[in-house]
Each structure stands twice: as structure tokens, then as C-alpha cells.
């Protein structure tokens, strides 16, 4: 075969994409006022902060223990309420359970809409409604958990086995009987696994919601950093880290047993 007749595929698309990408990044750097100099100048400042953060103020732990407990409470309740709300919506969003496209599409739409609103924003809104305190945080976490659990659950629902369902329909089961006796037993372990996973995420989230006044330990970040009490701030970080790791550990153990 003649070598000249070989067609080398054109690289133009790749080159153009690359150039566009570089332009976007450059433009962003300009817009953001990125300055390598400022960063380097900032290093000693950051170094100072880091040095002050260690060792953490061990005496501070008892003072924030209450707030930490409040954080955990928020996470528990937020996850629970969110899970309860997620049950009907996830059933409605699953294509194999809800036949009507109008229903499942609108359920999914509502779910996706809520999921696009960032956590902290929800918290700030709830603070405006309910005032400063953990109620706002629980509200925000509820909506967030609802979104996450509903999405994970409906995706799982669409993969369950249809044979038991078909068998039940064949013997004359109503829709609700189908769900209670056919769907729920199959999906329950997965559902609980998702709830636990969301709880893990919520512990982390709950720890920072206090920044906008939604309760929990986050409030103390604002306080300590504002007063430049860095060793106290690192106490908060470490405490949170410890709780998160503890809960993660147990949660993973339980989830393993479920699957």
C-alpha cells in the first residue's frame, strides 16, 4: 500500500480545545487577581498561623463539648427527617415503580432543584426564618439529606429485580401492597446504607453550618479565628476530625454488614 495515501487524522479539534482552555484559565487568573507574589508574601503569615495552631488548646475541649454534641444531634435529626422525606419522593422518581412520566419527571425535577442549592445557603435561609440556632441547621440538613438519599435510593430502585414484583401483581396485589411487601424488603439494606453514608457527610457539614449561625460547633470557628485564637481553632478542627473519624469507622462497619 502506498504510504502517501495514508490519512493522518486531523488534530485541529484537540489544539483548539487546548488553546481555548488556556485562554479561560488565563482569563480567570486575571479576573481573580491572582498574584504569585501575594501568595509568597502570604507564606510567612500562613506559617505563623500554622505555628500558632500547634499545639492546640487542650483546655478548650470541654468548653466546646456541648457544641459538639449539638452538632451530632443536628446531624442525627437532619439525616432522619431527610430520610423520611426521601422515601415517598424516591419511590415517585423511580421509573419502574411510577409509570407516569409526568409524575416521575416532576419528582426528579424537584429533587434536583433542591440538590443544586448549596448547604450553607440553605442554612442561611433557615437562619433567617427560624433564627439563630440548631433548628435552622436541622432544617438545612434535612433538605440536603433528602436530596442525597432520594437520589441514591431512586437510582437503586431502578435496578431491583422485577420478578418478585411481577409475581405479586399476578396474584392481584395493589400498588401499595406491592411496595410494602415487594419493593421495601429488597431496597431496605441499601437504603439504610445510604442513610448512614449521608450521616457521615452530615457530621462534616454540621460542623461548619454554625458559621452562618445555624448551630453546632461552626459558630466557634468564627469566634476563635476572629479573635486570632488559632490554637483554639485547631482544637475545634481536631475535635471535629476525631468525631468524624469515629463515626466514619462505625458507619463503614455497619454498612459492610448490610451489603
Does residue 34 interact with other proteins by CB under 8 A?
Answer: yes
- Give burial (CB, 10 Å; 0-12/13-18/19+) of 248: middle
Residue 79: all three cell numbers together = 439525616
Q: Which stretch binds other proteins (CB under 8 A): 64-72, 86-94, 159-167, 194-202?
A: 64-72
Contact 183, 156 (CB under 8 A): no
Does residue 112 interact with other proteins by CB under 8 A?
Answer: yes
From the list 12, 33, 163, 171, which residue makes contact with other proteins (rule: CB under 8 A)? Answer: 33
Residue 4: all three cell numbers together = 502517501
Q: Residue 12, Cβ neighbours under 10 Å: how many? A: 8
What is the rounded CA–CA span in Å between residue 6 and residue 2? 8
Does residue 29 interact with other proteins by CB under 8 A?
Answer: yes
Q: Residue 162, Cβ neighbours under 10 Å: how many? A: 10
Query: Would you call 127 helix, strand, or coil by DSSP?
Result: helix
Does residue 133 interact with other proteins by CB under 8 A?
Answer: yes
In whole angstroms, the minimum distance from the beta carbon of 4 to other proteins comes to: 11
From the list 55, 131, 185, 189, which residue makes contact with other proteins (rule: CB under 8 A)? Answer: 131
What is the rounded CA–CA span in Å between residue 258 and residue 113? 30
Q: Which stretch binds other proteins (CB under 8 A): 83-91, 98-106, 164-172, 236-244?
A: 236-244
Binding residues for other proteins, rule: CB under 8 A, are 1, 3, 6-9, 24-25, 27-29, 31-35, 38-39, 42, 45-46, 49, 69-70, 72-73, 76-77, 80, 112-113, 116-121, 124-125, 128-131, 133-135, 138, 204, 207-208, 211-212, 221, 225, 237, 241, 244
Amino acid at each position: 500500500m502506498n504510504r502517501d495515501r495514508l490519512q493522518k487524522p486531523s488534530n485541529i479539534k484537540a489544539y483548539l480545545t487546548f488553546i481555548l482552555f488556556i485562554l479561560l484559565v488565563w482569563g480567570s487568573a486575571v479576573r481573580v487577581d491572582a498574584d504569585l507574589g501575594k501568595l509568597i508574601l502570604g507564606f510567612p503569615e500562613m506559617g505563623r498561623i500554622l505555628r500558632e495552631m500547634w499545639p492546640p488548646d487542650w483546655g478548650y475541649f470541654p468548653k466546646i463539648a456541648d457544641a459538639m454534641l449539638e452538632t451530632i444531634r443536628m446531624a442525627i435529626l437532619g439525616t432522619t427527617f431527610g430520610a423520611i422525606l426521601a422515601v415517598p419522593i424516591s419511590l415517585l422518581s423511580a421509573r419502574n415503580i411510577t409509570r407516569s412520566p409526568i409524575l416521575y419527571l416532576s419528582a426528579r425535577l424537584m429533587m434536583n432543584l433542591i440538590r443544586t442549592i448549596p448547604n450553607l445557603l440553605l442554612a442561611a435561609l433557615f437562619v433567617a426564618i427560624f433564627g439563630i440556632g440548631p433548628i435552622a441547621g436541622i432544617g438545612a440538613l434535612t433538605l440536603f439529606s433528602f436530596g442525597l438519599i432520594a437520589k441514591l435510593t431512586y437510582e437503586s430502585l431502578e435496578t431491583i429485580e422485577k420478578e418478585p414484583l411481577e409475581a405479586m401483581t399476578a396474584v392481584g396485589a395493589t400498588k401499595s401492597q406491592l411496595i410494602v411487601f415487594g419493593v421495601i424488603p429488597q431496597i431496605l439494606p441499601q437504603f439504610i446504607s445510604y442513610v448512614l453514608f449521608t450521616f457521615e457527610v452530615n457530621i462534616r457539614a454540621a460542623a461548619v453550618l454554625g458559621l452562618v449561625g445555624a448551630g453546632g460547633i461552626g459558630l466557634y470557628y468564627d469566634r476563635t479565628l476572629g479573635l486570632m485564637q488559632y490554637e483554639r481553632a485547631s482544637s475545634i478542627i481536631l475535635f471535629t476530625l476525631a468525631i468524624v473519624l469515629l463515626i466514619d469507622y462505625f458507619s463503614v462497619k455497619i454498612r459492610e454488614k448490610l451489603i
